[in-house]
Copies of this chain bind each other. A is one copy, B any other.
Amino acid sequence: MTANKAYLDLEARFRRLSAIEGALAILGWDRSTMMPPGSADDRGEQTAALGVLAHEILSAPQVGDLLAGAEAAGGLDAWQSANLREMRRAWIHATALSPALVEAMARAATRCEMAWREARPKNDFASLKPHLQVVLDLVRETGQAKAAKLGVSTYDALLDQYEPDGRAERIDALFAELEAFLPDLLQRVLERQAARPAPLPLAGPFPVEAQRQLGIEMMRAVGFDFSKGRLDVSAHPFTGGTPDDVRLTTRYDEADFARALMGVLHETGHAMYEAGLPAAWRHQPVGRARGMALHESQSLLLEMQACRGLAFITFAAPRMRAAFAGTGAAWEADNVLQLYTVVQPGFIRVDADEVTYPLHVILRYRLERALIVGELALDDLPAAWNEGMQRGLGIRPPTDTVGCLQDIHWYDGALGYFPTYTMGALAAAQLFQAALRADADIEPGLARGDFVPLYRWLRVNVHEKGASAGTDDLLRATTGAPLGADAFRRHLERRYLQS
């Protein structure tokens, strides 16, 4: 207990804020999973009212004084100091913008997203462009307002919303590292795969209920606590809710169970992070996930590093076969593993394998930065996209539908988000290799469906850190190095060139 009264007052305010945000998270989950379609306006009223209340708590005139007072008074331990720092960050993001700008941004994003839903299937970028221009201008204004308060560049201010302390300079360096080896590595992987017989396909259909049961079985194996979470269905899978009430979703395709299963494992990785956040700091900013890069590292560590590896597939393949009463050689672990590690350049990011995925992200990152700094006009976006695909992946999208119209992010106002996907992939490789080094039982555990050793390490070294340290500091402490591309490169070489 500290005698820093201003700090204690802030803790009480942020606790209240966390409860409202928790309520919003459950309402958001309900909207995507349970809400009848005609109730959207009603829900909109509720979430808008709660959003305003949350903003009022954070931007109350006293909060600025309390922050300054708490910082001046001192007497805080390391966690409290980190908490105060995260309070300051949340306050800056909340108060940097005028209410008019927040409202204009929300309205423009909603309108543009609706237009995008129509324009994407019609391959109609032209009709969408005016909407996107409005969004882009407002995002730039948002970035500039936050940049002034944070003392960083406009793009870095946008990035900071998703990846605290994330900087374009770091990302440029990381992505340059990737570009130095990835195109060549991809070429070698493609040649190697072409020289081998293709894996045998698994014959469906795969009934939804059997898929659901298999997903639940695998979630239990990983250690997901169903007394504090659920698995449901939504059009776009996500992990929502709160650390003590984690709500995962997936969607099922009866022709292909791997999409749902790997999707469930991906979301379970996110969920395990949330559930493992430091309980003592549950309703405080420092008790939250560090940022989107580490969050994505946890989903990719589980899905890509652990569950698309031979050890786990050795455990899972017989269970898959049992779930769907499969027969034949296609269900052997070796074949299943081969199926789950096919590399194939394609137009669609969300369908990409882990070798080509970063190339999709690098393209988007370069384009969105150019848009923000004004080096690229929207008129030139489709052509720039297609040329970038040609250069990076060797394929040219035949339409904007599978080109610059495919992702919702920009049309929804989310610029600065894309790089966190690949930062997460790099961190996942780095953390997984550190975990394997630290505990020799982790890999044998996966082969018997025992994730306890893996999560014992992740809990202590990642989850329970919350937001107490920056991404690089956390990685340095747990892996011996800040975020880099080495571990990712080793991972790809081992899995795709040496196995």
Contact = CB atoms under 8 A, between A and B. Distances in A.
A22 B26 CA distance: 13
A27 B39 CA distance: 15
Contacts of A330: none
Given A16-B49, A45-B22, A48-B19, A230 B36 contact: yes
Q: Is the interface of A mostly helix, strand, loop or mixed?
A: helix
Nearest to A44: B19
Count of this chain's copies in the oligomeric assembly: 2
Interface in A186-228: 225-228
A282 to B, nearest CB: 8
Nearest to A21: B46
A46 B26 contact: yes
B242 A36 contact: no
A230 B31 CA distance: 13
Given A27-B26, A30-B30, A20 B49 contact: yes
Interface in A5-40: 15-16, 18-20, 22-23, 26-27, 30, 34-39
21 contacts: A19-B45, A19-B49, A19-B50, A20-B50, A20-B53, A23-B27, A23-B47, A23-B49, A26-B43, A27-B27, A30-B30, A34-B230, A36-B227, A36-B229, A37-B227, A38-B227, A39-B245, A41-B244, A42-B242, A42-B244, A50-B50
A23 B46 contact: yes
A228 B38 contact: yes
Nearest to A39: B245
Nearest to A52: B16
Contacts of A308: none
Given A30-B30, A38-B227, 12 more contacts: A16-B49, A19-B46, A20-B49, A20-B53, A23-B47, A26-B43, A35-B245, A36-B229, A36-B245, A39-B244, A39-B245, A45-B283
A42 to B, nearest CB: 4
A22 B34 contact: no
Contacts of A229: 36, 39
A43 B283 contact: no
Contacts of A43: 26, 245
A198 to B, nearest CB: 42
Contacts of A48: 19
Contacts of A35: 245
Nearest to A33: B34
A42 B20 contact: no
Nearest to A20: B49
Contact of A228 (B15, B19, B39, B50): B39
Nearest to A226: B36
A280 to B, nearest CB: 14
Contacts of A39: 228-229, 242, 244-245
Interface in A219-259: 225-230, 242, 244-245
A30 B35 CA distance: 11
